[in-house]
Structure 1
């Protein structure tokens, strides 16, 4: 595969000079873990359906990674080839990435929700050579779908099935034969190791319009973000990190897979989110840190309150993906006894901003945090002119962790000659330099020429005693262009109407122009597996009901 990661070279000298890029790969960190703490528990993977728990020490993890690496080489995988995997948070996910890194292959994580339409494009666009899938997961036959895809994609040489029963099983091809003991294994494992500027991860943005874009990252871009992130969270080899957010998203990949290895810490994987199970895992494994979206935080706080079972080892829950309602921060802080940290980031950048452990709690629901070291942010108007403190505009980011570009689509990189990336988000900076995301540019509601502060109105709606979840979306209006519709989920036994919402918002001194003029009540809001509300689906729903 010819990777056109054109955004790497122009900033290499500066990133090296400033110490952001250390020219290391995950191989270096794994080797150090084996050298210094070979028998330390590295990975615990729990599978909901079977209740099975699999554990690896660092010595065992490195050995299995090398076994799988040689097995992949036996399948014809060479340095720079793409290996796609549509796996849940199973140990095979972590080990396959480490194996790919051993031989310079590029890992392409795919969300388990994708089906033929999305996968046909992604596998073809990436020229994937191998696709690894579960035989079954959550009642869906992934093996059958993968085999049908392979029949249509000439470049897809192999389908490998975790838990398969035939010759194409993960076990038969990769994890059971002692490939690492073969005479040529050492040569394979040493000669194909990649450099830190080579593409190591290809992750497709799902998008809501047009075809997905393949985000290219190198070890330098990924690791230059994870280091400052871990330092800000005061994480060390003594920590245990729970990852229940999908590792096929950047959140799970960077901070649930890579970060524990970089720290020499321990990771715990949960493949299907269920809050009581998460609570039991956190107690049993003494989890000290986790990161997920607002939905996960709500569920976990509820589980602790309902069960009366605490999580005494948990020091911090980092919440990203959507603004955290103030009442949730207060309730979760009391229930979990942990610091609730707010963060914002993108697939292209990793975490960009986060609140600090020493910040007052209100910072977690009034801001999305301050930039990490190596990150610069600007808020500009439509003409690229900087805006003053408190004024919302387009958010631009220049970061050492910025991606290498979109595969075969350099014209869409949205990065200028000075390295500023247009995030597509709207935001403002406060007097301390903290960022507040006010919405996606495509999610903005412009009513009669006036921008409605979507995030702030949603935060207020969450405070209503009858509302469990809320989202604000635009619907067309002939006179004003757009008006706002509130889509809400009520708490059990509660009800609400548009007049009650208007009265509540007026009591909070909200401008009349910002008050929703339409209301939809639903049993749930459509979300991604990572918990982000899918506003494009809400807009589709509005169109259908018009």
Structure 2
């Protein structure tokens, strides 16, 4: 059964009093999800927005937002995710570019004039209350807008296969990803026991995948607004799941807090994705809590994971393969190619290419990623960084050029440069240096941070900003990121931060 049909079945047949999503210590039952889903479908149908309609959702980690996603998918429409973490001006620009006939958002989001103006400029705005109620917020649906038949989800990503773009996940991609991951309903039962914890943003593929795959399987969910240590630990204590998912930064947070082992005693495995997890971090977590950390590797373009560790693989191979991203999942082929396109021998580093039905190009095409990798003789894939410049900060992708442009908005900045500084908790963080404009009073780091907050998401703001007389240069006059990082480290050492 495909994802759309399964969600439609759950929304129509699940008992109204069956628990579905726990949020801030209260349960949303299937009856509440059904009410919101049917309310949305009625409003869209009345507006003439039927199957294939691209429905924008400013997607927050809240149960009513998840109900909207389920409704859109179950009725044959397309979910277009919009990121609530970005500043209002960028959100408004994203909405305006997308040409959406309808956008669903929380009252607080639509209270911003620029966002509401962008929504009503091309379509209908629907205000989604915390109780799941929906009401028009203005605008008229664009009835001749582009449709997306056969597309489940459209989301903006910086991706592993090219520059930032809005990509479409086809129905067959999503269904194939569910099948290859082993997520399936219990035979002969509508719902099943077990609880899944969702701590990453729904607007990113990891969070949305965790939520939808859990519901697809018939499990209850615990939905957190974001990862926070004590609420997460209490959820594990309360529901005692054998498995959970954490990004490396969250693993580090749990270890640094020295959470007592007995509070996490139910955990046997922890899946870990979005960015590279150092093997020493995984080992430290295993020693502390007895839970094996199973790394995954994937991308939005492939509707989720394409390689992973499993528990049997971990027990057999971890001692000799620690640091690997695991093996390709069933139905996934991988190869490594040199710059000239020839296939590399086992152990040689090159560009990773993937062939799978989870690909937007179908199961016969090889897709070249932006990752450098090697495949060993036992079929394990090892990631050796990125061929592009993206900085992965705790699972969030940061484009250095976008941060540079934000810094150079300041009238006293002549030029800025951004680099990735290794960080024990987050993997990498963006750091920057700026060269003042001649004749201007040099800006302070605090001024530049405040300026960045106007146009950047919180995770994009540089962790450290230096103001220097002149940016370090290579002999070819390009900014030297190596020397820039040396300057940052020296500054941190002088401040006692390292």
Q: Please indicate, yes or no, whether the TM-score normalized by the shorter chain is above 0.5.
A: yes
State the shift of 1:93 in Å.
1.9
For the 8 Å contact 2:152–2:174, the answer to whether it is kept is no
Which residue number in structure 2 is paired with residue 56 of structure 1? Answer: 29
Report the alpha carbon displacement of residue 116 of structure 1 after superposing the two structures with TM: 4.1
2:489 alignment counterpart? 520
Q: Which residue of 2 aligns with 1:249?
A: 204
Distance across 2 between alignment mates of 1:316 and 1:37: 31
Supply the distance in 2 between the matched residues of 1:281 and 1:27 (Cα, whole angstroms): 30
Using the size of structure 2 for normalisation, the TM-score is: 0.70
Q: Does 1:272 align with 2:226?
A: yes
Asked whether 1:28 is paired with 2:6, we answer: yes
Deviations 1:109-131 (A, max 9, x none): 22222234433443233321222
- The counterpart of 1:260, out of the listed 199, 207, 214, is 214
Q: Distance in 2 between matches of 1:327 and 1:425?
A: 22
* CA distance, structure 2, for counterparts of residue 521 and residue 291 of structure 1: 36
Task: Note the aligned Cα RMSD (angstroms).
Answer: 3.9
Change over 3 Å in CA distance of 1:202–1:394 after alignment to 2? same
How far did 1:206 drift? Answer: 4.2
Give the match for residue 69 of structure 1. Answer: 41
Runs of 4+ displaced beyond 6 Å = 472-475, 479-484
For residues 54-107 of structure 1, the C-alpha deviation after alignment (integer angstroms, 9 at most, x for no partner) is: 3214x5534542233223333443222222122321001210011112332211
Residue among 202, 207, 211 paired with 2:154: 202
Q: Which residue of 2 aligns with 1:323?
A: 276
In the superposition, relative to structure 1, how do residues 32 and 97 fare at CA in structure 2: closer, same or farther (>3 Å)?
closer
Out of 289, 310, 316, the residue aligned to residue 263 of structure 2 is 310
**Hey, what does 1:96 align to over in structure 2?**
68
Asked if the contact 1:240/1:289 (under 8 Å) is kept, the reply is no
Gaps in structure 2 of 5+ consecutive residues? 137-146, 392-421, 432-471, 493-498
SS of the residue corresponding to residue 153 of structure 2 reads: strand
Deviation of residue 419 (structure 1)? 1.0
- Residue of structure 2 in register with 1:173 after alignment: 135
Deviations 1:356-392 (A, max 9, x none): 1112444774101111111111100111100011111
- CA offset at residue 160 of structure 1? 2.7
Secondary structure of 2:489's match?
strand
TM-score by length of 1: 0.65
1:149 aligns to 2:115 (yes or no): yes
- The higher-RCO structure (CA 8 Å, 6+ apart) is 1
Q: CA deviation at 1:306?
A: 3.7
Mapped partners of 2:241, 2:171: distance in 1: 27
In the TM superposition, what whole-angstrom CA distance separates every residue of 1:236-264 from its partner, at most 9, and x where no partner exists? Answer: 943311011001100111122x1112211
SS in 2 for 1:324: coil
In the alignment, what sits opposite 1:438? 384
Instruction: Say yes or no: does 1:395 pair with 2:364.
Output: no
Q: Give per-residue Cα distances to partners, 1:109-162, cap 9 Å, x unaligned.
A: 2222223443344323332122222334xxxxx2233x4234246653232333
Unaligned runs of 5+ in 1: 1-21, 47-51, 137-141, 175-193, 405-414, 446-460, 488-515, 524-546
SS of 2:388's equivalent?
A: helix
Partner Cα separation in structure 2 for residue 288 and residue 30 of structure 1 = 28
| CA shift for structure 1 position 265 | 1.4
1-side partners of 2:209 and 2:196: how far apart?
12
2:291 is matched with 338
Displacement of 1:281 = 1.4
The number of residue pairs the alignment matches comes to 404
Equivalence for 2:462: none
What displacement does 1:432 show?
A: 1.2
1:217 match: 169
